[in-house]
Amino acid sequence: MAIFECRECKKEVSTDATACPHCGCPDPGKKNRSGCLKAGCLSVLVLCVLVLIIGTCVDRDDSSSSAKRPSSSADTRSEVSAKIRKLDAETQAIPASDIDGNLKAYQELLKLVPSNQRYKDKVAHYQGLKDEAAKPETKGSSPSIEFAIINDEVMGSNKRSVDVRLQERVSKTELTSLARKIYRPGFERTFILYYLPDMTVGSGAWATSHYNPSLEVKILGATIEQAKTLNAPAPEVVGRKVIGAWTISGLLPRRVDIYEDESGLHIATKYNDGSGSIERADKKTIKGRLAYVEKSAGYGEYYVVNARGDLELWDDQGLIDSGKPVR
């Protein structure tokens, strides 16, 4: 026989007892259902509390994670725009003479906005100035060039147009050096036109040196070498009477020789590229002056020698061009 506790009074009871001799509880050895129920309820309650605690912790973690998340794309774009505006304003304050500073700043802006044309032009402009400054001066160039600025016009914030009168033809290297002297920082679009002494401003320049934004130098008329060829004395020809020879320095540089021989009057034209023609001509009086007219002239053009000995090309609308005598 074994002894155990009564499920009600907890006193010792024999396993053979059908009822507790102390409290009368039937089947004293049978488990207490209500106790189990109470224990089960307690377990459920504890589980619910645990779930609640875990849920609270998770919510806190989520809140903390949300706080650490990066800003939205809209916020990012706003920050980049603000950075660009600030850097642009700082760049505008950099002196135009600070080539390296401007180049570095505009390169940084171009990285932020690769499609911005103004930043592209600025980078090209200052890079061109930096490259030019690094070039060594060409030996043999003239230390000084006689010139006069006859027109200097500023258009907008970065554009400038300059007309220059040269006393004589110069080389392309000398024009490059002169362009650097005339250029003013800040005007990356600078257009310089050069005119020889006998040329009319606005009627075609002899040469140009344009910053657009990089420097490009062009000689449009006859170069020094070509001018020497055009001004070379014509060979003497037996039976030819020379009336005169002139060089015209406009947009179409050329030499014009007028002479007579046994076959009549002729006008010979030679261009600076070596091409040319010889046309038969007539003498006529036009507007009270002696004129030389090519027989093939189809636009009413004719030549006249004025009182100074210069050759003038006219048509029905007026003076077209003029040239100086070959010396």
pLDDT tens sequence across 239-295 = 999 999 999 876 688 999 999 999 999 999 999 888 999 999 999 999 999 999 999
* Token pair in block for residue 212: 């657009």
Parse the chain into domains and list their residue ranges.
1-57, 78-134, 147-220, 234-325
CA distance 227 to 169: 9
Query: In what helix (H) or strand (E) does residue 229 lie, and over which residues does it extend?
Result: helix 224-230
Instruction: Give the model's pLDDT for residue 289.
Output: 95
pLDDT tens sequence across 54-94 = 666 545 555 455 445 555 566 688 888 888 888 989 888 88
β-partners of residue 89 are none
Residues 156-184: b if buried by 16+ CB within 10 A, e if exposed: eebebbbbbbbeebbbeebbbbbbeebbe
Judged against a pLDDT cut of 70, whether residue 137 lies above it is answered with no
Judged against a pLDDT cut of 50, whether residue 33 lies above it is answered with no
pTM for this prediction: 0.54
Instruction: Give the model's pLDDT for residue 142.
Output: 44
CATH dotted code for 234-325: 2.40.128
How high does pLDDT run on average in the chain? 82
Instruction: Give the model's pLDDT for residue 209.
Output: 96
Under a CB-based contact definition with an 8 Å cutoff, are residues 206 and 199 in contact?
yes
pLDDT tens sequence across 138-162 = 443 445 788 999 999 998 888 999 9
Tally of helices (H runs) and strands (E runs) in the chain: 6, 15
Under a CB-based contact definition with an 8 Å cutoff, are residues 107 and 91 in contact?
no
Instruction: Give the model's pLDDT for residue 160.
Output: 94
Under a CB-based contact definition with an 8 Å cutoff, are residues 91 and 103 in contact?
no
Residues 192-220: b if buried by 16+ CB within 10 A, e if exposed: bbbbbeebeeeebbbbbbbbebebebebe
Cis before 213? omega within 30:
yes
Those residues with Cβ within 8 angstroms of residue 315's Cβ, 6 or more apart along the chain or in another chain: 299, 300, 301, 302
Confidence of residue 30 (pLDDT cuts 50, 70, 90): low
Percentage of residues in the chain having pLDDT higher than 90: 35
Instruction: Give the model's pLDDT for residue 31.
Output: 53
Instruction: Give the model's pLDDT for residue 9.
Output: 79
CA distance 135 to 133: 6
Place of tokens 């002196």: 95
Query: In what helix (H) or strand (E) does residue 280 lie, and over which residues does it extend?
Result: strand 276-286
β-partners of residue 238 are none
Average confidence (pLDDT) over 170-196 = 92
